[in-house]
Chains A and B, each alone.
Chain A
Amino acid sequence: EIVLTQSPATLSLSPGERATLSCRASQSVSSYLAWYQQKPGQAPRLLIYDASNRATGIPARFSGSGSGTDFTLTISSLEPEDFAVYYCQQRSNWPPEITFGQGTRLEIK
């Protein structure tokens, strides 16, 4: 099983600041990584797929990068609505399995 480790567990920032969230895989996942945003009481929303592709309707302030084992989600300038929990997710080929990271909580400082 490929384990995804997200850091930090909690990130405290102010609106307008830059957020950098990390996701590290226990073995290479190539560029097969997705990022989601989840707000309280809501379903997760896809932000990024294949490490760096923004999903439909996602603002340009969200960007993803990385390959292999180290990935980053960057929010260039935080808006009030960006404070939420963020998850990364990967698919391994064998055994075919999908796993999520434990999440990073982005909170208002």
Chain B
Amino acid sequence: QLQLQESGPGLVKPSETLSLTCTVSGGSISSSSYYWGWIRQPPGKGLEWIGSIYYSGSTYYNPSLKSRVTISVDTSKNQFSLKLSSVTAADTAVYYCARHSGGNSGDWFDPWGQGTLVTVSS
């Protein structure tokens, strides 16, 4: 059974870089069938897609965050990572990683990690 687990600091200072890692277990991140994605949810609000990466390193990002986001993959560790620069309080959210299915049909996320709360505060 595929499982994903987010890890990283729960508190980040304004203007600094948020860094999170998602560890995939129960399956290979190098599967040719899937992308791997990051989604976030501010407290009490809805879901926002941040971006997704293929095992080869190909990425695509939410245009509204693209200038601050970098997603990378480490196939040797079965992990992918998120970096979000120049954070503000508006970046405070629960950050989820998920397997991203798609291609010739629609796209969807399944399964999801449990999520990790990142608070931006001095």
Q: Contact between B48 and A44 (Cβ–Cβ < 8 Å)?
A: no
Contact with A along B93-109 (1 / 0, CB 8 A): 00010100110011111
Binds A, one of B14-22, B24-32, B75-83, B111-119: B111-119
A89 touches B46 (CB 8 A): no
Q: Which one, A32, A44, A50, A101, contacts B109 given CB within 8 A?
A: A44
| Complex alpha-carbon distance, A101 and B45, angstroms | 11
**Contacts known (A46-B110, A91-B107, A102-B46); A97 close to B101, Cβ less than 8 A:** no
| Interfacial chain B residues near A91, Cβ < 8 Å | 102, 106-107
Docked Cα-Cα span, A36 to B48, in Å, equals: 13
Contact of A100 among B49, B63, B101, B112 (CB under 8 A): B49
A43 and B117 alpha carbons, distance in the complex (Å): 12
Asked whether, in the complex, the Cβ of B102 is within 8 Å of the Cβ of A87, the reply is no
Contact B63 A97 (CB under 8 A): yes
Q: A33-B106, A96-B60, A97-B62 are in contact. Are A103 and B112 (CB under 8 A)?
A: no
Give the size range of B's interface with the partner.
20 to 34
B45-63 residues at the A interface, CB under 8 angstroms:
46-49, 52, 60, 62-63
Q: Are A32 and B107 in contact (CB-based, < 8 A)?
A: yes
Q: Which residues of B contact A50 (CB under 8 A)?
A: 105-106, 108
**Given known A43-B113, A96-B60, A97-B62, contact A103–B46 (CB-CB < 8 A):** yes
Q: B1: shortest Cβ distance to chain A, in Å?
A: 11
Given the complex, which residues of B lie within 8 Å of A101, measured CB to CB?
A: 46
In the assembly, what is the distance between CA of A98 and CA of B98, in Å?
13
A28 CB to nearest B CB, Å: 13
Pick from B60, B106, B115: contact of A34, CB under 8 Å? B106
Complex: how many Å from CA A15 to CA B74? 46
A-B contact pairs, 10 of them (CB 8 A): A34-B106, A34-B107, A42-B114, A43-B113, A44-B96, A49-B106, A49-B110, A87-B46, A97-B49, A97-B60
A contact set with B: CB distance below 8 Å: 1, 29-34, 36, 42-46, 49-51, 55, 87, 89-91, 95-103
Q: Identify the B interface with A (CB < 8 A).
A: 37, 46-49, 52, 60, 62-63, 96, 98, 101-102, 105-115
